[in-house]
Amino acid sequence: MRESTPIFSVKTNLLYRLPVAAYCIFIFWQSSYASPEGLPSFAFSDKILHMGGYALLGLLVLRALLREDLNASRGRLMAAAIAFSVSYGITDEVHQSFVSDRVADGFDLLADTAGAVMGVLFFDRWHHR
């Protein structure tokens, strides 16, 4: 049985929670500006970037949730990580609708969702090896 993690554990905060918060802040910050110049420009390149970005978010969230003492099944934690990542993707798209030279795009949200699922599945597989 795993030892219970205190809510205010410095190690847990720095190694597991802080990366999630910092990455969410990074996504928000990056979404506050027009798309950067010099990005790859082939068909659906922006969707691939969304997938990669949200794969990392899903991975970080699942990593943090697995560290918590939540008494939940692995499947529920995976679903929660995906739900959090997709919810954050929704807020990101809404945020972008208020930024000049950016638009809210449902296909970006689909790419975010696919990325979150891939990141969670990848981390789950890697973590259980």
In a domain, 5, yes or no: no
3-state secondary structure of 43: coil
List the single range of 85-89, 100-104, 107-111 with lowest mean pLDDT.
100-104
Joined together, the tokens standing for residue 20 give 């999630």
Q: What is the pLDDT of residue 111?
A: 97
Q: Could you report the per-residue pLDDT of 14-45, keeping only the tens digit for each?
A: 889 999 999 999 999 999 987 766 666 776 77
Residue 118: per-residue pLDDT = 98
Domain that holds residue 95: 10-127
CA–CA separation, 101 and 96 (whole Å): 9
4 assigned to some structural domain: no
As a whole number, the mean pLDDT across the chain is: 89
* Residue in 26, 2, 1 with CA at minimum distance from that of residue 12: 2
Is-contact 125 60, C-beta < 8 A?
Answer: no
What is the per-residue pLDDT for 70?
83
**Alpha helices in the chain, H assignment, sequence order:** 10-12, 18-31, 45-67, 74-96, 106-127
Average pLDDT over residues 55-80: 94
State how far the Cα of 55 lies from the Cα of 51, in Å rounded to an integer: 6
Residue 104 lies inside a defined structural domain of this protein: yes
Tokens standing for residue 70: 């939540």
Q: Answer yes or no: is 39 within a domain.
A: yes
The total of structural domains in the chain comes to 1
The answer as to whether 1 is a domain residue is no
Do the Cβ atoms of 36 and 80 come closer than 8 Å? no
Query: In this structure, is residue 120 part of a structural domain?
Result: yes
Taking residues 108-114, report their average pLDDT. 97
pLDDT band at 1 (very low <50, low <70, confident <90, very high): very low
Q: Is 3 within the bounds of a domain?
A: no
State the amino acid at position 60 in one-letter form: L
Whether residue 54 lies inside any domain: the answer is yes
70-86 per-position pLDDT tens digit? 889 999 999 999 999 99
| Residue 129 reports pLDDT greater than 80 | no
Query: What pTM was estimated for this model as a whole?
Result: 0.86
